[in-house]
Amino acid sequence: MADAAAARPDEQAPQAPQDLVPPGPLGVARALLFDTYILAESREGLVIVDQHAAHERIVYERLKAELRARGVPRQLLLQPEVVELDPADVAVLEEAAELLQRAGLVVEPFGGGAVLVREVPAVAGLRLELAPLLADLAEDLRTLGSAATLEARIHRVLATVACHGSVRAGRRLTLAEMNALLRQIETTPHAAQCNHGRPTYITLRRRELERLFERR
C-alpha cells in the first residue's frame, strides 16, 4: 500500500532544489535548442545562451587568469603528436615557440612540413584538435606581425586556443552541464560577449514575451 501511494502523482515529493529558479541573472536551464542554444528560465524571463560563445569566454578568461598568476599550466602528452602543416606555417610557429610555450603549447619543428606537439594547456574542459588550431595560430601571428606587443600576441594566442578548445555548437549537453555553464558565466568577467565580440546570451523579459503573444 505504501508503495502504491508513493507512486501517485498528487503525492510526489516537492521539487528538487535544481528545479527551482535561482536568483542569478541566467536562471535555470530548461532545454537545449538545435544542440547549440541553452534555453533558461530566470526570474526576469527567458534567457537564450550560445553554448560555444559562452564557454569560449569562460576558457579565455581562465587562461588569462592562469597567465597572470603563475603561467598557463601545461600537460605532457603521453604520445607527442605530429601535425602536418604548410612549411610557411611551420616557420611562423618555430619563430613563436617561446610565446606559444607561455600560452601552454610546446611545439617543435619536425621536418620541413610538420611540427611535433609535446605539451598542451592543462585547463579543465579544454578539448583541442591540434591541426586546425596550429594552422589558425600561424595565421593569427602572421596577421599581427612583429610590430604587435608581446601582450597582444599572447592574448591572441590564448583567444584562439579558447575558441578551438571550447564546447562546440552541435554537442548535446546534459541539464547538469548546462546549469554548470550558466553558473560559470555569471562569475566570469566580460561574460556578455565572446572573444570575437558576439553576444554570449540574450534575455527576453517576461513583459516582452507577453507583448509578443498580445497579452499586454
> How many residues are listed for the chain in this entry?
216
| Interval 176-214: pLDDT, tens | 999 999 999 999 999 999 988 899 999 999 888 888 888
Given 3.40.50.300, 3.30.1540.20, 3.10.20.740, 3.40.50.1000, which CATH number is that of 25-71+169-216?
A: 3.30.1540.20
Q: Which three cell numbers stand for residue 27?
A: 536562471
User: Quick one: average pLDDT of 133-156?
Assistant: 89
Instruction: Record the pTM.
Output: 0.83
Q: Which three cell numbers stand for residue 39?
A: 534555453
CATH fold for domain 73-122+127-165: Ribosomal Protein S8; Chain: A, domain 1 (3.30.1370)
pLDDT at 19: 53
Strand partners of residue 108: 116
Q: Considering the chain, what percentage of its residues have pLDDT values greater than 90?
A: 65
Element (H, E) at 38: strand 37-41
Which residue's C-alpha cell is 566570469? 188
Domain ranges, ordered by start, for the chain: 25-71+169-216, 73-122+127-165
pLDDT at 4: 40
Residues 132/140, Cβ–Cβ less than 8 Å: no
| Interval 56-76: pLDDT, tens | 999 999 999 999 998 899 999
